[in-house]
Amino acid sequence: MMQKRKYFPYTLPVIFFLVMLVDGHISSSILGLFSVPMDFTSNLLLMFLMFATFQMGKPYLVIWSGLIGLLYDSYFYNVIGINLVLLPIIVLLMYGLFEHVIPSTFTIILSFIVFVTLLSVGRVFLLVLFKLTETTILDFFARTLAPTLLLNILLIAILVVPLKKMFNVKK
């Protein structure tokens, strides 16, 4: 059984905010590094939210994911509602999944890939639905989803073991 860390309720909001900012810098740096018309989106915030599900209660994390989603929307998109809606929904899906799946390194990595895909598809769906962008399915898969998955698979492969220790996730 995982022992809950007593200081997490106080430190996680700050960690989420800092990770949100780091996400933006990683994405911007990669876009500046390559001169290709692709959208590499870092999802460290989603990764930290996923690991936080092992330590925090559902109401706490759903509320904070909504608040950080609101900040994310206002800081990166200038459109309120996309991450405000998607992050709490995905956090609820994370809780549902990890009630039935043992969090081994392999299942955590696979789960993260699924959650990144859901978040990316959800963002594009909402952006297209509200006519904030026009894109084709082929463009989305080739220029957004594939590079985003590649970047996030590298990030989770590097960070899964340290984050399992930080969040006290045992098999």
What predicted TM-score, i.e. pTM, was given to this entire model? Answer: 0.94
Query: Which among 130, 42, 58 has a CA at the least distance from the CA of 90?
Result: 58
Note the pLDDT of residue 6.
Answer: 74
In a domain, 73, yes or no: yes
* Angle at alpha carbon of residue 3, lines to 83 and 63, rounded to 5°: 20
In a domain, 107, yes or no: yes
Q: How many other C-beta atoms lie within 10 A of the C-beta of residue 119?
A: 22
Note the pLDDT of residue 1.
Answer: 47
SS3 for 53-103, per residue? CCCCCHHHHHHHHHHHHHHHHHHHHCCCCHHHHHHHHHHHHHHHHHCCCCC
Note the pLDDT of residue 171.
Answer: 66
For every one of its 171 residues, what pLDDT tens digit does the chain have, with 9 covering 90 and above?
466 767 788 899 999 999 999 999 999 899 888 878 888 999 999 999 999 999 999 999 999 999 999 999 998 888 889 999 999 999 999 999 999 999 999 999 999 999 999 999 999 999 999 888 889 999 999 999 999 999 999 999 999 999 999 999 986
Note the pLDDT of residue 100.
Answer: 96
In a domain, 2, yes or no: no
In a domain, 65, yes or no: yes
Q: How many other C-beta atoms lie within 10 A of the C-beta of residue 25?
A: 10
| Number of domain units in the chain | 1
Q: What is the extent of the structural domain holding 27? A: 8-166
In a domain, 1, yes or no: no
